[in-house]
């Protein structure tokens, strides 16, 4: 028998916890691991006793939902709850897996959990390593799941606010600008070397003059503004 997923909810409104619990009754593979009205207390407890999934309100006293998720070291999967649609883009920029608009509809929650189950299974199989977890990248009307460690470089499209994720045998066009991708990927070891290029430090094999060499003999130019930082990066040992 597969062990259930443990979730927690963080919201300063008690009624929100009750509503979520009612909706989750139709998903017996998710069990309640704690309900918190104070985000600071939730951070302390869940950093010590992590859960698989956290449903968290976007607007709370003392700490916003996005701030909380960035500070949550165990790196479980976060779902942002908000009554404001503008939080959707901020959620994606912060690497949040999903967001739900309040009041939450049963069908919307069902669809969200359906998308999250494969990620939860992968996280459990790989021991929860954040570098092994895929991120969702906007790809036209849908999303592509890509493991950050597999991305060698990110190249901005010259003619649009889009970019390409460069893998060893594939180039994936995503409808996100390079500035947004830089925000999302910095925590995974990506560095800016040019206004049009990000590179994965783990794939960096050499720095020479105005260019860097990457895995599979890929080469990318280094802009003058980034040259000193790139050379210093190359001198530091990899983590």
The string of pLDDT tens digits covering residues 90-119 is: 555 555 667 888 899 999 999 889 888 888
Any domain includes 22: yes
Structure tokens at 218: 């890929």
Any domain includes 139: no
Same domain (yes/no): 77, 160: no
Is 161 a residue whose pLDDT tops 80?
Answer: yes
First to last CA, the chain: 38
Same domain (yes/no): 119, 153: no
* Count of domains forming the chain: 2
Give the pLDDT confidence score for residue 239 in this predicted structure. 45
Any domain includes 50: yes
Any domain includes 92: yes
| Alpha helix segments (H runs only) across 126-221 | 178-185
Any domain includes 109: yes
Closest CA to 151 of 93, 190, 186, 102: 190
CATH assignment at residue 69? 3.40.50.2300
Q: Identify whether the C-beta of residue 233 lies closer than 8 Å to the C-beta of residue 186.
A: no
Give the pLDDT confidence score for residue 122 in this predicted structure. 76
Same domain (yes/no): 97, 168: no
Same domain (yes/no): 103, 163: no
Any domain includes 112: yes
pLDDT by residue (tens digit) across 68-96?
988 887 667 889 898 876 665 555 555 56
CA distance linking residue 24 with residue 29, whole number of Å: 9
- Section 57-63 average pLDDT: 90
CA distance linking residue 219 with residue 209, whole number of Å: 12
CA distance linking residue 104 with residue 2, whole number of Å: 27
Full domain range(s) for residue 152: 146-235
pLDDT by residue (tens digit) across 27-40?
999 999 999 999 99
CATH assignment at residue 175? 2.40.50.1020
Same domain (yes/no): 122, 151: no
- Section 162-180 average pLDDT: 91
Beta strands in the chain (DSSP E): 5-10, 30-36, 53-57, 77-82, 98-101, 135-139, 142-146, 153-156, 163-166, 171-174, 190-194, 197-200, 204-208, 211-214, 219-221
Same domain (yes/no): 120, 154: no
- Section 116-137 average pLDDT: 71
Same domain (yes/no): 95, 201: no
More confident residue, 132 or 57: 57
Name the domain boundary from 92, 127, 162: 127
Same domain (yes/no): 18, 117: yes
Same domain (yes/no): 123, 43: yes
Name the domain boundary from 62, 97, 127: 127
Same domain (yes/no): 95, 160: no
What number of other Cβ atoms are within 10 A of residue 197's Cβ?
21
Any domain includes 11: yes
Any domain includes 178: yes
Same domain (yes/no): 10, 113: yes
Same domain (yes/no): 9, 123: yes
């Amino acid at each position: 028998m597969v062990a259930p997923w443990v979730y927690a909810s963080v919201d300063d409104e008690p009624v929100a916890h009750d509503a979520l619990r009612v909706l989750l009754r139709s998903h017996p593979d998710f069990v309640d691991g704690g309900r918190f009205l104070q985000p600071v207390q939730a951070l302390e407890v869940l950093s010590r006793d992590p859960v698989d999934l956290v449903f968290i309100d976007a607007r709370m006293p003392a700490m916003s939902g996005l701030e909380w998720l960035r500070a949550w070291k165990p790196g479980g999967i976060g779902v942002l709850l908000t009554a404001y649609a503008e939080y959707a883009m901020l959620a994606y920029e912060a690497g949040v897996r999903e967001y739900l608009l309040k009041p939450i509809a049963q069908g919307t929650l069902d669809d969200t959990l359906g998308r999250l189950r494969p990620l939860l299974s992968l996280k459990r199989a790989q021991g929860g390593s954040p570098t092994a977890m895929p991120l969702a990248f906007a790809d036209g009307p849908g999303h592509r799941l890509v493991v950050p460690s597999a991305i060698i470089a990110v190249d901005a499209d010259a003619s649009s606010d889009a970019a390409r994720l460069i893998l060893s045998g594939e180039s994936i066009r995503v409808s996100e600008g390079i500035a947004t991708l830089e925000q999302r990927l910095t925590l995974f070891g990506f560095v800016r070397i040019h206004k049009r290029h990000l590179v994965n430090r783990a794939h960096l094999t050499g720095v020479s003059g105005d260019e860097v060499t990457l895995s599979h003999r890929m080469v990318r130019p280094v802009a003058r503004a980034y040259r000193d930082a790139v050379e210093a990066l190359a001198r530091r040992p990899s983590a």
